[in-house]
Structure 1
């Protein structure tokens, strides 16, 4: 497969990702600390199955607690447990990222950010082929 065209002097994807990570701050500065680890573990014990996998008829252990509504540093949103969902890494890293891009572009409402929403199911089944 041929390489991707990049204008001379433009940053590579790796450089772009590093710059984005630098801008958003460390995990601890974003609230992911010991308190979060304990709350996350409790949530995963109570909801151990990926909500997205379950919606498409699969059973997969959840390893991630996702903030349905992206908190962007808002402490109230960060700790709103009614807006947390248990999911597998694949759903978080693939399906949820597409949902958040659609939400940011105004193409879907907040309710469709749940990984068991119709939009999420459509994306997941499309990715799985």
Structure 2
């Protein structure tokens, strides 16, 4: 029985060494690791907070897209107003061109007041010179 008691004492000693480890501060180290792991698990975000963050991210994305849509709509409205303005300007210019065309067709003497005088005085002289120049 002495041997059995000796074996039991050795077994208890080996158990205590395995729990404490070979390091003299083994219990302190194991307590630190256990506490660190429990703090890590406590501070780990839960699945509900992860879903809240993903929902918040989606809402921010939607808000950004809505802002882009509103900015694009404002730009489209501005460009449409400019198109209307340019079409009005085009219509005014076209009307002015037609008016000036009518004036020039009906009243050529306003544009070239001395045209008939110029044509009948200079051009016969010019043609006679050409004809005489060819003869001589």
Shorter-chain TM-score: which interval? under 0.3
**What TM-score comes out, normalization by structure 2 length?**
0.19
Q: Flag the structure with higher strand content.
A: 1
**What TM-score comes out, normalization by structure 1 length?**
0.20
**Greater radius of gyration (CA):** 2
Q: Flag the structure with higher helix content.
A: 2
Say which structure, 1 or 2, has more relative contact order (CA 8 Å, 6+ apart). 1
